Structure 1
Amino acid sequence: MKTAIDDRIFQLIVYISLALLAFVTFYPFWNALVVSFNEGMDTTLGGITFWPRKFTFENYGYVLKDTRILTGFGISIARTLSGTFLTMAGTAIFAYGMSRKELIGRRYYMIFAIITLYFGGGLIPTYLLIRGLGMFNTFWVYIIPSIISVWSMIIFRTFFREIPSGLEDAARIDGCGYWGTFLRVVLPLSGPVLATLSLFTAIAHWNDWFVASIYINNENLIPVQTLLKRTIDSNISRELVSDSAASSFIAKTQTYTTKSLIMATMMVTTLPIVIVYPFLQRFFVKGVLVGSLKE
């Protein structure tokens, strides 16, 4: 009887702790959503917690009124889909080759790959390389430089090495070569790790704004994240105007503020990728741990 009571008390403590953790994790996102729907000037008074005090769509209207936003969304979606597919394809093929014991010099290839995790060429040499390869101001600058992920390759490689060799031997007996074994045996077994790494890669492509700010001048090739970053920067610059008359005029003609625009911008860029999470959630734990248990 005493043991049963102790178990219930322990479970109650665990549930309360998990509830508090869930609240602490979710509340900042919810508060950002609330602020994005609240009138900006009213938000500066404080007290906005769980629900908008003066509900408005003006923040989103300001962010989305630029006609380039739709084009930017198209570029971001195209980049995310094509970049994720090609990165996963290239990385998985590379990892499968590195997992084969019969590959001559694979130890040296692995050393060269790991070096890239610790050392980079720097911004200026990379800029000159991109321009020399003819990718400057093209869509391919989003895809080709990141088509191989060494970190994902290591996880793929570890997972491939844990696949029972008997399965691959059976495939070879049935007449499959390396490509047939990879496509018909290895990849179908790699669903969890493939889904998890695909999501990580998609998030990286979706959230990136820096590449376009360096290598893209064509307005039709700028993703939505870069456009929204420019919107925030331009509004911050406007608020830094020192002329009191100009500041007074701005305050009278608009109700949004830098904070309200930042929150609306964050929601616009975050919600599309957040929607993907529930569909891949069941792969997370297994996908991440399956390639990291042993080497």
Structure 2
Amino acid sequence: MLSFKRQTPAEAAFGIFNGLLMLIICFLTLYPIWYVLVNSFNDGQDAMRGGIYWWPRELSLENFRAVFRSEGIMTAMGITVAKTLLGTAVHVFFTAMIAYAVSRRELIGRNLYMIIGTITMFFGGGLIPYYLLIRDLGLLDSFLVYIIPAMFSFFNLIIFLSFFREIPAGLEEAAKIDGANDLTIFIRVVIPVSMPVIATIALFHGVYQWNDYFTGMIYINNTDLQPIQTFLYRVVAQSSSNQMLAAMPSGVTINVTSQSLKLATMVVTTAPIVIVYPFLQKYFVKGFMIGSIKG
């Protein structure tokens, strides 16, 4: 029979205080998102009067119609989807391949590679040398600037290492007896049994690729190659919203303002990852737990 320890008044008060504190923190975190969402669905001219806090006063979809009719947003969305899918696939395969090599104890210079990689996690050359490197590699105004520099992450390599070290040595030995070389073992043995950590790293890097606006802002001048987050940055931080309004067909944006257009653009660019992330949260938690518990 289950028995429950009776709480003292001090413990009960402490629990109530913690609950109220967490409610306040959740409210402060979620309300700005709700405010942007509510105002993006409100008539732009009406929203200028203010006083909209909890729900739309005059429900309207004109802001979103203006966003999807604006020049360049669908191209930017396509670039973001392409770089997220391709960049994530390349990053996962390349990082996993290096991590598998480093996990082999017979690798010459293995400890030196780990020391060098650890240093790069804390020290970098800075933005100007990195920009010069990107320029000399011919990656300026190139779609590959989203893919090649992000092919490898030493932090993700450490997560892969923690998982690869737990793979039974008998699997690889059996494959070698059957005549498989290291590449065949990696593709046919290691990758299939490593799907949990691969899914975790894919989610890590996929979220990074989707949210990255800095690369497009610094290394891309061609607007046809800029991702959706850079598009959002230019709308919010510059006068692009007024330019978007000016480019609309006559009569289309009569109730749309530059502010309402900014809010609607923010919703459109962030909605996909916000919707997907809660369903994938368990993989993020699992990824940080990999290797921490030994059975």
Place the TM-score, normalised by the shorter chain, in its bin: 0.7 to 0.9
Matching residue of 2:232: 228
**Native 8 Å contact 1:138 1:221 kept in 2:** yes
Q: What is the alpha-carbon distance in structure 1 between the residues aligned to residue 151 and residue 236 of structure 2? A: 30
TM normalised by structure 1 equals 0.80
Residue by residue, what CA displacement relative to the aligned partner does 1:228-249 show, whole Å, maximum 9, x if unpaired?
21122234997xxxxxxxxxxx
Give, as a single letter, the amino acid of the residue that structure 2 aligns with 1:88: V
Matching residue of 1:286: 286
Deviation, 1:272, is: 1.7
The structure in which a higher percent of residues are helix is 1
For structure 1, which runs of at least 5 residues remain unmatched after alignment?
A: 239-252
Spell out the pairing of 1:51-130 with structure 2 (5 A cutoff): 51-130=55-134
Q: What is the alpha-carbon distance in structure 1 between the residues aligned to residue 91 and residue 215 of structure 2? A: 16
Matching residue of 1:264: 264
Q: State yes or no: 1:163 paired with 2:185.
A: no
Deviation, 1:282, is: 4.6
Deviation, 1:163, is: 1.6
Matching residue of 1:250: none
Give, as a single letter, the amino acid of the residue that structure 1 aligns with 2:179: G
Deviation, 1:71, is: 0.9
Which segment drifts farther, 216-225 or 104-113?
216-225
Distance 1:185 1:237, change over 3 A: closer
Match of 2:41 among 37, 62, 77: 37
Which segment drifts farther, 278-287 or 184-193?
278-287
Q: What is the alpha-carbon distance in structure 2 between the residues aligned to residue 192 and residue 27 of structure 1? A: 34
What SS does structure 1 have at the residue aligned with 2:200? helix
Which segment drifts farther, 159-168 or 28-37?
28-37
Deviation, 1:134, is: 1.1
Distance 1:120 1:169, change over 3 A: same
Q: State yes or no: 1:276 paired with 2:276.
A: yes
**Native 8 Å contact 1:95 1:154 kept in 2:** yes
What SS does structure 2 have at the residue aligned with 1:176? coil
**Native 8 Å contact 1:83 1:142 kept in 2:** yes
Deviation, 1:94, is: 0.7
Distance 1:40 1:5, change over 3 A: farther
Q: What is the alpha-carbon distance in structure 1 between the residues aligned to residue 135 and residue 276 of structure 2? A: 34
Q: What is the alpha-carbon distance in structure 1 between the residues aligned to residue 27 and residue 196 of structure 2? A: 28
**Native 8 Å contact 2:235 2:241 kept in 1:** no
Provide the aligned length of Structure 1 versus Structure 2.
Answer: 277
**Native 8 Å contact 1:63 1:228 kept in 2:** no
Give, as a single letter, the amino acid of the residue that structure 2 aligns with 1:256: T
Share of identical aligned residues, percent? 51
Give, as a single letter, the amino acid of the residue that structure 2 aligns with 1:272: P
Deviation, 1:78, is: 0.8
Deviation, 1:284, is: 3.3
Q: What is the alpha-carbon distance in structure 2 between the residues aligned to residue 290 and residue 18 of structure 1? A: 31
Deviation, 1:32, is: 2.8
**Native 8 Å contact 2:159 2:287 kept in 1:** no
Distance 1:200 1:215, change over 3 A: same
CA RMSD of aligned residues (A): 3.2
Residue by residue, what CA displacement relative to the aligned partner does 1:108-155 show, whole Å, maximum 9, x if unpaired?
111111111111121111111111111111111111011101111111
For structure 2, which runs of at least 5 residues remain unmatched after alignment?
A: 243-253
Residue by residue, what CA displacement relative to the aligned partner does 1:198-254 show, whole Å, maximum 9, x if unpaired?
11111111111111121112222111221221122234997xxxxxxxxxxxxxx76
Distance 1:120 1:55, change over 3 A: same
Residue by residue, what CA displacement relative to the aligned partner does 1:7-27 show, whole Å, maximum 9, x if unpaired?
9xx9x98xx789947766655
What SS does structure 2 have at the residue aligned with 1:162? coil
Give, as a single letter, the amino acid of the residue that structure 2 aligns with 1:31: Y
Q: What is the alpha-carbon distance in structure 2 between the residues aligned to residue 76 and residue 83 of structure 1? A: 10
Q: What is the alpha-carbon distance in structure 2 between the residues aligned to residue 293 and residue 152 of structure 1? A: 18
Q: State yes or no: 1:199 paired with 2:200.
A: no
Residue by residue, what CA displacement relative to the aligned partner does 1:142-187 show, whole Å, maximum 9, x if unpaired?
1101110111111101111122222222222232221222122221
**Native 8 Å contact 1:193 1:288 kept in 2:** no
Q: What is the alpha-carbon distance in structure 1 between the residues aligned to residue 292 and residue 240 of structure 2? A: 44
Give, as a single letter, the amino acid of the residue that structure 1 aligns with 2:285: V
**Native 8 Å contact 1:63 1:231 kept in 2:** no
**Native 8 Å contact 1:38 1:52 kept in 2:** yes
Q: What is the alpha-carbon distance in structure 1 between the residues aligned to residue 163 and residue 3 of structure 2? A: 42
Deviation, 1:53, is: 1.5
Q: What is the alpha-carbon distance in structure 1 between the residues aligned to residue 36 and residue 144 of structure 2? A: 34
What SS does structure 2 have at the residue aligned with 1:145? coil
Distance 1:35 1:86, change over 3 A: same
